[in-house]
């Protein structure tokens, strides 16, 4: 015949269930922290890659800008990179800014 279940048996079962749930929760928390760390590292790496890619493209485009505008009669004499405007409502980053005395050309690479 089966032994009758007592209140102590039920408490022991709840205790064991709670301990198992606590272990699972602790492991889930650890995994969540690992995931957050990995996501933060990935975001930093992608941001760095984006910046390097942008600089690479600017390095390719800038020499061609001078030549192309001079071929069209705009005698570009100066170029500058990464100019920023912080004016309220007019925030912008100009990747290449080319100047021909009284003519300026702003180039934004997308």
What tens digit of pLDDT does each residue of 20-37 get?
A: 999 999 999 999 999 999
pLDDT in tens, 51-65: 788 888 888 888 888
- pLDDT value of residue 1: 67
Q: What is the pLDDT of residue 19?
A: 93
Using alpha carbons, select from 72, 68, 70, 77 the residue that is nearest to residue 98.
77
Sheet hosting strand 92-100, strand order edge to edge: 78-85, 92-100, 103-107
- Please count the other Cβ atoms lying within 10 Å of the Cβ belonging to residue 76: 19
Could you report the per-residue pLDDT of 42-98, keeping only the tens digit for each?
998 888 887 788 888 888 888 888 888 889 888 888 888 888 888 898 888 889 999
Q: Rounded distance, CA 12 to CA 18, Å?
A: 10
């Amino acid at each position: 015949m089966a032994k009758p279940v007592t209140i102590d048996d039920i408490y022991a079962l709840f205790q064991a269930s709670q301990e198992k749930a606590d272990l699972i929760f602790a492991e889930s928390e650890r995994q969540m922290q690992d995931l957050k760390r990995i996501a933060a590292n990935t975001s930093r790496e992608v941001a760095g890659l984006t910046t390097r890619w942008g600089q690479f493209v600017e390095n390719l485009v800038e020499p061609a800008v001078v030549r192309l505008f001079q071929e069209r009669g705009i005698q570009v004499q100066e170029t500058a990179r990464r100019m920023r405007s912080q004016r309220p409502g007019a925030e912008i980053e100009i990747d290449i800014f080319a100047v021909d005395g009284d003519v300026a050309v702003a180039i934004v690479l997308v």
